[in-house]
């Protein structure tokens, strides 16, 4: 009887020990996961601080009370984009685009239509394009990682890969790049085709076809003109 009792107690001790080891292993795994989460969160905070610093210097919604009429026009133009996108192109993004486009004397609807085409009308700021021999295109404006750094440098902006997924940053880069390309070519057919195919790709297209009126360039310009007419009518 005593031996049986000792055997039961021994089994019970081993059972408790085994369960304790199992729980300890679980806790260690949870601690490890928390450490990983902490690192990821720290990195995310760092990225957000970079983005916040940028946005504070380029506030898309800061009103100038002395120029209320201009802001009213910005909002009206932005609203056309928001409605056309079915709400996918958010109002703060649209307002930012309209305001920033004015600095470069670029039709904001031209940029809006470019972003629509590049994102497949999703306006998904975290979009990653299909793989090509040059890699993937990233973000709302679909920048390649071999192009974005020097465009950011032209814009006097910081560069990190993760910033390509910030819609304001992406919009700003698209404006700076379009401004640069237009300075090179002085027409929108070549500018837009170069944005889509690269500068070398645009030259090849032009040599093959005798012009730079690509379907991409024509579609963007045609749709932008429709929005311009709608804005004038209002």
- Domain encompassing residue 131: 58-233
DSSP state of 136: -
What is the tens place of the pLDDT at every residue in 197-225?
999 999 999 999 999 999 999 999 999 99
Q: Is the pTM of this model over 0.85?
A: no
Supply the CATH number for residue 162's domain.
1.10.530
99 shares its domain with 164: yes
How distant is the alpha carbon of residue 69 from its chain centre? 30
136 shares its domain with 195: yes
Burial class (CB in 10 A: 0-12, 13-18, 19+), 139: buried
CA distance 18 to 7: 16
Under 8 Å between Cβ of 127 and 150: no
Q: Residue 70, Cβ neighbours under 10 Å: how many?
A: 13
Which residue, of 29, 48, 67, is where some domain finishes? Answer: 48
224 shares its domain with 162: yes
Q: What is the mean pLDDT of residues 125-135?
A: 91
Question: What is the residue-wise DSSP string for 96-132?
Answer: HHHHHHHHTT--HHHHHHHHHHHTTT---TT-BPPPB
Residue 164 is assigned to a structural domain of this protein: yes
Residue 208 is assigned to a structural domain of this protein: yes
Residue 53 is assigned to a structural domain of this protein: no
Maximum Cα–Cα distance for the chain, whole Å? 102
Residue 119 is assigned to a structural domain of this protein: yes
CA distance 50 to 159: 9
Number of separate domains in the chain: 2
Q: Does residue 20 have a pLDDT over 60?
A: no
Q: Does residue 12 have a pLDDT over 70?
A: no
Identify the pLDDT of residue 97: 98
Q: Does residue 187 have a pLDDT over 60?
A: yes
Beta bridge partners of 103: none
Q: What is the mean pLDDT of residues 56-68?
A: 52
62 shares its domain with 44: no
User: Which of 83, 193, 179, 172 has the alpha carbon at shortest distance from 125?
Assistant: 172
What is the tens place of the pLDDT at every residue in 74-129?
999 999 999 999 999 999 999 999 999 999 999 999 999 999 999 999 999 999 99
36 shares its domain with 71: no
């Amino acid at each position: 009887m005593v031996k049986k009792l000792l055997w039961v107690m021994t089994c019970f001790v081993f059972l408790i020990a085994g369960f304790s080891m199992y729980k300890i292993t679980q806790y260690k795994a949870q601690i490890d996961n928390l450490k990983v989460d902490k690192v990821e969160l720290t990195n995310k905070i760092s990225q957000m601080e970079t983005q916040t610093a940028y946005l504070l210097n380029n506030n898309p919604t800061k009103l100038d009370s002395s120029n209320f009429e201009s802001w009213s026009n910005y909002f009206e133009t932005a609203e056309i984009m928001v409605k056309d996108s079915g709400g996918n192109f958010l109002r703060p993004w649209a307002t930012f685009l309209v305001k920033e486009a004015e600095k470069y004397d670029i039709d904001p609807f031209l940029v809006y239509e470019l972003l629509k085409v590049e994102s497949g009308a999703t306006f998904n700021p975290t979009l990653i394009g299909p793989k090509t021999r040059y890699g993937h295109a990233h973000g709302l404006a679909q920048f390649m990682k071999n192009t974005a750094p020097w465009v950011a440098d032209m814009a006097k902006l910081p560069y990190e890969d993760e910033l390509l997924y910030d819609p304001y940053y992406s919009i700003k880069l698209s404006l700076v790049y379009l401004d640069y390309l237009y300075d090179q070519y002085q027409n929108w057919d070549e500018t837009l085709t170069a944005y889509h195919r690269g500068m070398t790709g645009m030259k090849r297209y032009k040599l093959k076809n005798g012009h730079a009126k690509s379907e991409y360039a024509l579609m963007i310009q045609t749709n932008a003109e429709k929005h311009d007419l709608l804005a004038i009518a209002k």
